[in-house]
Each structure stands twice: as structure tokens, then as C-alpha cells.
């Protein structure tokens, strides 16, 4: 066994080593064989597609080539012995592709448009970095010859953006999605509701956008400083905007998972609908401080009706399988003090408030499952007993994920110790304010989702990984890009590339070689890793 592992490692190192320089591919492909020579896109180069499934990807390639070279690449259905050809290969996996570049022909094989899209991302990374821009190229549009066979290690390759603490306009969300797609990430987890702001239009509850989406002021600096700016802050996405973003992501083969937080992180809801909390007569306000609010939803029938109505509208907007219901950081003090909650605990034969939270999540799970969707929640949903159909997102380290996988549940590993991109990535003295932590690019890259505690069967429940961009301190897109890149490149590689190819120094070289692409795209990436 050890010998096989060693052979894999050596194979991995050698192809990774070859992947330097001209082949700065991120994530590194499963197999890459470099070759002498190159293919040049010139006047007369055509694109042939063996199936209509490849048309949108072929059009993307043609458009980008035309933008930077002025060359029109006609896209035709059929076969060809030269030029760029997309061939249907039904023996490949849905996300797999093969890419063979010779001086005469570029051949992409895929089974689906998605596979072809990933081949396109690889092909683009093999071209001069200006392919990503809008300016006319000064050099030829060449692609080094090579043979690549590639497919992802994990099916879930995600990034989360918190738009509750800070609102990101539609165009900025699209840009966030654009960058994800370049590195073959396929899940955008959209954290839409928070104590400090509700950001999605729900037609049945107009106060969610009228009241819950606006806070009267925001925290300035560290929240322990208790300083406020006195300026109202708000924003939300209309259902039309949500549909537009979901469709936009879909064209880049990214599924959007909405998160509607419950029962905690719901203070903004209570500002509009106080009857869903501890005290209907209390005046709640949308949160202005960061941290965990004591004001939580109560497990009343009225609350379940509200949540089911909200989720019904949400499910109509998001066609993907998963609906994230939060479930994290729900303080139990108000439930402890409540006669209603204590009576419900007795009536339902529950042990304590943790089991009451489990009762809450089970009811929501039943509802979501009845609609043919899957519930996804943070690892606190394990406390008090895991709901039967839940998938667990492990954030407080990996213990929750390990526990859930051992119980036979699917798991997304998103440990704060490796994948929280709101953490510092270098010495805080030299960095803009961040929530804390110490998470260098190398540390992120070192994460291995198959934990030693899991046997082979249990490890199969680890469906992938996710990086999280919480935005208490991250007010806008340039800041978010600074925190996300290049760490998201490490995430993309862990999620996609074979374990055997893992090699930080090779990865760092490829990232360094790839920086001109980020420069062309004007990504505000952090450079600290270069000196680490």
C-alpha cells in the first residue's frame, strides 16, 4: 500500500514539476503530458462541434478570441481534422474532459457542456494571459502542445459570500462567480440572511425588504470598540435579480445555494415580525453589532408557517438540490426562559433546548425533503440529534463533519482553521482589518478533506469542500477579492486535483506564474504569500 502511495506521489511530483512555466494550470489537471510545439489561432481557424451541447462553450471561446485578436472563429456543427474540435465522448464523467493540443488541431472531448466548459478554462489558462482581457493582443494567440485528461476529485467545490453583513451589488456577485468558474468551482453559496440584514425579496412578507434589509447604522472598526457610524445601511435582491444571477451562474455551470438562516442569526426578521421571537410586544431592531445575537426565532407554529412560505418562494428561485438553512450559533437562553419552549420540550418528549433545535430543524427538513430538495446546515445541527436527510457543513473544524460522515450523512468540509477567508493571511500589522485567525496560503493548501478518522466508506460521504467569505469587515468587492485570492485557488486545487499531486512549492510557482492573468482581470489579490 505504502509503495503504491509512493509511486503516486512520485508520478504526481513529476507531472507537477513539468506543469511549471508554460503550463501554469490551476487547479493542476489529473494528467498532463507536455509536448513540443504549439497551436496558433489565426485567420481561418474554425471551431467544429460534434454536438449542440458544446455550442455555448464554443461561442464563449470564439467571442473571447475575437475580442483580443479580431479573428472571427466560425462555429460549425460537425467533424473536422484541423482547427478546434469538440467531440462527444459518452464514456467520460459529467465533469471530465480530455484536451489534446497539437500544432494542427485542438481536440476537446467531453460528455457534457460542463466538461467542455472545464476544458475551455484549461485552454484559456494555456493561452497568453491577455486572452482574459479586452485589449488587442500584441503577440500570437498560441497554445502549447499537450495532452490532458482531467476530472475533479470532489463534486462539491464551493465558495460562500456573506451578503448579510455587507450587501454586494448584482454586478459584483457576477464578478465573484466569474472568477470562481475560471478555477472550476461549481457551487456559489449565497448567505442571504443575517442579524444585520435580510437581502432577498419575499413577496409574501414585504416587511422583510422594507424593514429587515436596513440597519440604522453599522459598527466601525472592531466590534469590541462599540463605535457606530450613524448611517443607515441596506440593500436587497429582487426576485428578478435573483433569477438573473442564478441563470448567469448556470451558464458557467455554477449552482447557487441560497442560505436562509434559522433559528439563530434572525434578528433582522424579528425587527419586522416580532411575533416569531420571544416576545411579540418587544421592539427589535435590525442588528448593528457583529457577533451572535441572543434574539432568535421561536419554534411556534406561526414561525414554521412563515419559514415554509419563505422557503417555498426561495425554492422557486433556486433550482439546485440544496437549500441551506443555517442552524449555527443559536443561543438557547431565551428558549430556556420561555414557558412556551419548556412546555413544547415536555410535550414532544425532548431532553433539552438542543433537542428543541433538532426538533426545529427536523420539521424544516421534512418540509424541504417533501419538495424534493436536500437540507444543508452548519455543524450545530448535529447537536440534539441530526435530522434524517441533512447534509452537514463542518465549520468548527472537522469534528462535526467526521461525526456526520460516521452517521452516514453527506458532508461538506469547510473548517474555519483552513477555509475561512475572512481570517488574516499574513501578519495583522501589515494587513487590513480581519476577523482574526492566521491562515496563510500554505495553511489553506495543506487541508486534506479525507480525515484520518474516516474509513474508506465514511470518506465517501465527504462530497467536497467550501471556503467562506464572511463580511463583517469586508465592505466591498475589492476587499473581498483581496481576502479570497489567492486562497480560493488553493481551495480550487484541493477540491479538483488528485491528492497525489499535492505539492505546495509547485502550487506556489504556478500561482506566481498565473498572477499576470489576475492582473489582466484587475483582481485585487493579496501578495503576502510571495514573501512567506
- Contact between 356 and 341 (Cβ < 8 Å): yes
Nearer Cβ to ligand ACM (329/476): 329
- Contact between 500 and 439 (Cβ < 8 Å): no
Nearer Cβ to ligand ACM (175/324): 324
Using CB under 6 A as the binding rule, whether residue 378 contacts ligand ACM is answered as: yes
Nearer Cβ to ligand ACM (217/328): 328
Nearer Cβ to ligand ACM (378/424): 378
Under DSSP, the state recorded for 285 is -
Nearer Cβ to ligand ACM (59/329): 329
| Closest distance to ligand ACM from the beta carbon of 194 (Å) | 10
As given in the structure block, the three cell numbers for residue 34 are 507536455
Which residue of this chain has its Cβ atom nearest to ligand ACM in the complex? 328
Nearer Cβ to ligand ACM (209/471): 471
| Ranges of H-type helices in 91-206 | 113-126, 170-182
Interface map 311-350 toward ligand ACM (x if CB under 6 A):
-----------------xx---------------------
Nearer Cβ to ligand ACM (244/329): 329
Q: Whole-angstrom Cα distance, residue 101 to residue 91?
A: 20
Under DSSP, the state recorded for 515 is H
| Closest distance to ligand ACM from the beta carbon of 413 (Å) | 13
| Closest distance to ligand ACM from the beta carbon of 392 (Å) | 12
- Contact between 188 and 256 (Cβ < 8 Å): yes
Nearer Cβ to ligand ACM (120/419): 419
Nearest to 39 by CA among 117, 133, 103, 123: 103
| Closest distance to ligand ACM from the beta carbon of 494 (Å) | 19
As given in the structure block, the three cell numbers for residue 51 are 454536438
Nearer Cβ to ligand ACM (147/417): 417
**Ranges within 268-287 binding ligand ACM (CB under 6 A):** none
| Closest distance to ligand ACM from the beta carbon of 263 (Å) | 14
Under DSSP, the state recorded for 481 is H
Compute how many residues bind ligand ACM; rule: CB under 6 A.
Answer: 4
CA distances to 274, 298, 332, 375, 433 from 295, rounded to whole Å, are 10, 9, 9, 23, 27
**Ranges within 112-131 binding ligand ACM (CB under 6 A):** none
- Contact between 141 and 41 (Cβ < 8 Å): yes
| Closest distance to ligand ACM from the beta carbon of 247 (Å) | 28
Under DSSP, the state recorded for 52 is G
Dihedral pair phi/psi, residue 294, rounded to 5°: -75, -20
Nearer Cβ to ligand ACM (142/468): 468
Nearest to 434 by CA among 294, 530, 290: 290
As given in the structure block, the three cell numbers for residue 121 are 478554462
| Closest distance to ligand ACM from the beta carbon of 213 (Å) | 21
| Closest distance to ligand ACM from the beta carbon of 188 (Å) | 16
Interface map 449-468 toward ligand ACM (x if CB under 6 A):
--------------------
| Closest distance to ligand ACM from the beta carbon of 495 (Å) | 19
DSSP for 319-350 reads: -SSEEEEE------HHHHH-HHHHHHHHHTT-
| Closest distance to ligand ACM from the beta carbon of 380 (Å) | 8
Q: Whole-angstrom Cα distance, residue 349 to residue 179?
A: 49
Nearest to 358 by CA among 327, 324, 329: 327
**Residue owning grid cell 467536497:** 464
The footprint of ligand ACM (CB under 6 A) covers 328-329, 378, 395
Amino acid at each position: 500500500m505504502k509503495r503504491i502511495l509512493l509511486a503516486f506521489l512520485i508520478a504526481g511530483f513529476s507531472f507537477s514539476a513539468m506543469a511549471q512555466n508554460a503550463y501554469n494550470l490551476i487547479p493542476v489537471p489529473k494528467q498532463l503530458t507536455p509536448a513540443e510545439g504549439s497551436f496558433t489561432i489565426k485567420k481561418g481557424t474554425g471551431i467544429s462541434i460534434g454536438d449542440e451541447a458544446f455550442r455555448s462553450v464554443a461561442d464563449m471561446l470564439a467571442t473571447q478570441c475575437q475580442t483580443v485578436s479580431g479573428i472571427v472563429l466560425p462555429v460549425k456543427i460537425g467533424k473536422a481534422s484541423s482547427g478546434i474540435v469538440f467531440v462527444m465522448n459518452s464514456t467520460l464523467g459529467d465533469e471530465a474532459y480530455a484536451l489534446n493540443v497539437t500544432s494542427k488541431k485542438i481536440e476537446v472531448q467531453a460528455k457534457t457542456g460542463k466538461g467542455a466548459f472545464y476544458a475551455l478554462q484549461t485552454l484559456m489558462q494555456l493561452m497568453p494571459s491577455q486572452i482574459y482581457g479586452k485589449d488587442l493582443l500584441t503577440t500570437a494567440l498560441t497554445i502549447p502542445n499537450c495532452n490532458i485528461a482531467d476530472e475533479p476529485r470532489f463534486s462539491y467545490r464551493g465558495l460562500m459570500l456573506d451578503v448579510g453583513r455587507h450587501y454586494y451589488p448584482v454586478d459584483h456577485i457576477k464578478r465573484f462567480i466569474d472568477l470562481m468558474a475560471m478555477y472550476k468551482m461549481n457551487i456559489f453559496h449565497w448567505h442571504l440572511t443575517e442579524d444585520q440584514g435580510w437581502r432577498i425579496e419575499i413577496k409574501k412578507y414585504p416587511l422583510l425588504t422594507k424593514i429587515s434589509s436596513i440597519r440604522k447604522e453599522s459598527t466601525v472598526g472592531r466590534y469590541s470598540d462599540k463605535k457606530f457610524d450613524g448611517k443607515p445601511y441596506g440593500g436587497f435582491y429582487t426576485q428578478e435579480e435573483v433569477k438573473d444571477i442564478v441563470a448567469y451562474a448556470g451558464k458557467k455551470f455554477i449552482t447557487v445555494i441560497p442560505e436562509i438562516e434559522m433559528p439563530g442569526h434572525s434578528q433582522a426578521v424579528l425587527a419586522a415580525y416580532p411575533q416569531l421571537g420571544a416576545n411579540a410586544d418587544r421592539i427589535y431592531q435590525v442588528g448593528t453589532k457583529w457577533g451572535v445575537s441572543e434574539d432568535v426565532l421561536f419554534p411556534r407554529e406561526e414561525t414554521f408557517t412563515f419559514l415554509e412560505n419563505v422557503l417555498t418562494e426561495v425554492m422557486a428561485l433556486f433550482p439546485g438540490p440544496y437549500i441551506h438553512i443555517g442552524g449555527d450559533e443559536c443561543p438557547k437562553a431565551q428558549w430556556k426562559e420561555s414557558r412556551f419552549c419548556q412546555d413544547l420540550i415536555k410535550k414532544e418528549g425532548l431532553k433539552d433546548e438542543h433537542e428543541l433545535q433538532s426538533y426545529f430543524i427536523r420539521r424544516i427538513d421534512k418540509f424541504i425533503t417533501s419538495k424534493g430538495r436536500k437540507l444543508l446546515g452548519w455543524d450545530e445541527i448535529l447537536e440534539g440529534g441530526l435530522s434524517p436527510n441533512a447534509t452537514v457543513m463542518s465549520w468548527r473544524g472537522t469534528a462535526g463533519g467526521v461525526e456526520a460522515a460516521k452517521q452516514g450523512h453527506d458532508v461538506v468540509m469547510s473548517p474555519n482553521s483552513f477555509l475561512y477567508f475572512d481570517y488574516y493571511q499574513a501578519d495583522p500589522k501589515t494587513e487590513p482589518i480581519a476577523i482574526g485567525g492566521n491562515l496563510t496560503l500554505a495553511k489553506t493548501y495543506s487541508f486534506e478533506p479525507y480525515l484520518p478518522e474516516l474509513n474508506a466508506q465514511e470518506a465517501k460521504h465527504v462530497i467536497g469542500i467550501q471556503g467562506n467569505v464572511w463580511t463583517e469587515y469586508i465592505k466591498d468587492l475589492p476587499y473581498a477579492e483581496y481576502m479570497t485570492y489567492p486562497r480560493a485557488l488553493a481551495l480550487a486545487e484541493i477540491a479538483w486535483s488528485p491528492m497525489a499531486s499535492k505539492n505546495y512549492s509547485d502550487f506556489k510557482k504556478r500561482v506566481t506564474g498565473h498572477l499576470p492573468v489576475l492582473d489582466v482581470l484587475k483582481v485585487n489579490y493579496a501578495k503576502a504569500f510571495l514573501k512567506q
